[in-house]
Structures are given as C-alpha cells and as structure tokens.
C-alpha cells in the first residue's frame, strides 16, 4: 500500500497522530533484558505490541541499531510490525544524503532490505541526491526542513536569495519539496515541535503535506502549540514523534505497560487539540 494512503487511514481509523520513535539504548533496558543477544528486538517488539493501537506510525532510528551491530534485529523488528500490525507504516529515520549512485544503494537498503514504508532524507545535496528515493512512488520520502535541535538555526534559518525571492533556507526547502519534488505525492517534511512558529509557516507553504514532528517529550516541545500550528483542516497532517519519553517511561519488567500509558496520555493530549 502507498505510504500516504496507509498514513491517512491510520490518522482517521485509529484516531491518532502519534508516532512512537524506536531508539533502543541497551544501557536503559530493564535488568531482565540486559546481556541478551536479542535484547534490542525483544525490547522494541514489546513496546510496539503495547502501543500499536495508539499510533499512526512507528519510527525506528537506524543509528541505535547500527551502533550495536544490530541491523539484523532492525530487519526482524520491521518484519514483525508488518506481520503483527499490518496497517501501521514504518518510517526508517536514517537522514540519508549522498550522490545519486550511493543514494540508490541507500534506497535499496531502506525499501528492499529493511522494507520500510518511508525514509527520512537530508535534502542538502539537492534533487539528484533525492531522486533514487522518489523512484519508489509508493514509499514516503520525508525531507529535513526545520529540525528540532537548536543548531538547526545555524543554516536552516539563514536568509537566502532563491529563484522565488529572499526567504529562510527552511522555507526554500519547504517550497522546493512541495512545488517541485512531490510529483508522486509521496513527500513529507521534518519540522521540530520545538519551533511551532516554523511549523505554522511550513503548513502555510505546503498545504496538507504530512509533517513529521519530533521534539515533544524529552526535548520539551509543546503539543498544544504544535497542534495549533500544524494540524490540517481535517485535524490531521502530522506525525508527532515521541521516542525516549515513551520507551523509557518504566525501567522494570513492566516497561511496556509504562510505555503504553505514556503513549496513551500523549495521544489523548494531541487529540484534545485536533
Ligand atoms: O529534527 C529532528 C529530526 C529527527 N529527530 C529524531 O527524532 C527522535 C526524537 O527522540 P526523542 O527521544 O523524542 O527526543 C530521535 O530519533 C531523533 O533522531 C529529532 O529529534 N529531530
């Protein structure tokens, strides 16, 4: 199924704009999982199974798996999500960006090896570096626009002269993606919850384009301001990500139940402003 179709269905049928981020850090796992060779997979599966009915998508961050030599567990995790929760799209957060020939390999890795439904991509190297992902029209291509970290302002907030006039670099990215790169309707943008003013501006520039919004929870972004700035007229359009606040809500054997409680509260806090 097309990523956007699955996402739209999840927003409305499951009544959720929450994306649970899967950033497994073994140092934070409960004692009973410590030292197990499959600890990453078991930890993530437990959180996925406890929260799947509460989310519109999951977002595994590849660095947490690769750093532990656990790409095989990432592959198994995505396979598990597809089998056990087939209507739940998976965004591989990889923030890839490289010349076309290398990007082709990254696209194969994301979509054919890991079987992700969407990937995050850094647009900084330009259109030809993004084309290999866009060549999969069923898959979502979610481009970094206004990231949630403070340092994002170093470049993204600069005023630049563009063929459309003078604007902030992140505004130019938003317009370029919305107006030039989205021919198959499979693009989205990353805009941090820590910058609600810029969420509003990106929404203004891109119509109903889906926005992946990290930065609530551990980074302190504001749900109310995010919703006011970014929701569409249909009360959707957002994948609001929370990773650490959900994953590490509990540190004991009942960690998955604790994760579910935080996910439920977060989903409801979001829905109160749809
Ligand atoms: O601008 C961005 C882009 C991506 N991220 C990623 O989202 C999660 C956030 O984790 P929390 O624990 O909820 O803070 C993480 O995987 C980041 O790599 C982001 O934070 N900001």
Which atom of ligand 1 sits closest to the CA of residue 147?
1
CA 97-120-101 angle, 5° bins = 35
Q: What is the pLDDT of residues 217-271, one digit of tens each?
A: 999 999 999 999 999 999 999 999 999 999 999 999 999 999 999 999 999 999 9
Q: What is the pTM of this model?
A: 0.98
Q: Check residue 1 and give its pLDDT.
A: 83
Please state the length of the chain. Answer: 274
Ligand 1: lining residues by beta carbon, under 6 Å: 21, 23, 61, 93, 147-148, 190, 192, 214-215, 217-219, 241-244
Q: Is 45 a catalytic residue?
A: no
Residues 184 and 133: beta-carbon distance below 8 Å: no
CATH fold of 3-271 reads TIM Barrel (3.20.20)
Name the token pair of 8: 């739209």
Between CA 204 and CA 188 the distance in angstroms is 14
Q: What is the pLDDT of residues 202-214, one digit of tens each?
A: 999 999 999 999 9
CA of 215 to the centre of ligand 1 (A): 6
Catalytic hit among 45, 95, 139, 261: 95
Q: Domain segments of the chain: what residues?
A: 3-271
């Amino acid at each position: 199924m097309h990523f956007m179709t699955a996402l739209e269905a999840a927003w409305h049928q499951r009544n959720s704009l929450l994306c649970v981020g899967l950033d497994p850090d073994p140092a934070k796992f409960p004692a009973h999982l410590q030292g197990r060779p499959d600890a990453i997979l078991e930890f993530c599966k437990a959180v996925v199974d406890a929260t799947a009915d509460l989310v519109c998508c999951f977002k595994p961050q590849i660095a947490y798996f690769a750093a532990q030599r656990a790409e095989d567990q990432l592959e198994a995790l995505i396979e598990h999500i597809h089998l056990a929760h087939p209507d739940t799209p998976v965004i591989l957060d990889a923030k890839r960006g490289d010349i076309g020939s290398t990007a082709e390999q990254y696209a194969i890795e994301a979509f054919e090896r890991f079987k992700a439904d969407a990937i995050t991509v850094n647009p900084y190297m330009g259109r030809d570096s993004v084309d290999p992902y866009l060549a999969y029209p069923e898959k979502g291509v979610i481009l970094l626009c206004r990231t949630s970290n403070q340092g994002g302002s170093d470049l993204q907030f600069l005023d630049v002269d563009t063929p459309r006039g003078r604007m902030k670099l992140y505004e130019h990215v938003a317009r370029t993606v919305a107006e030039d790169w989205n021919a198959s309707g499979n693009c989205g943008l990353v805009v941090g919850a820590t910058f609600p003013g810029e969420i509003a501006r990106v929404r203004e520039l891109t119509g109903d384009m889906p926005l992946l919004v990290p930065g609530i929870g551990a980074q302190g972004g504001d749900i109310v301001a995010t919703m006011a700035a970014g929701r569409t007229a249909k009360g959707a359009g957002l994948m609001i990500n929370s990773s650490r606040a959900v994953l590490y809500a509990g540190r004991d054997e009942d960690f998955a139940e604790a994760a579910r409680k935080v996910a439920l509260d977060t989903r409801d806090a979001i829905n109160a402003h749809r």
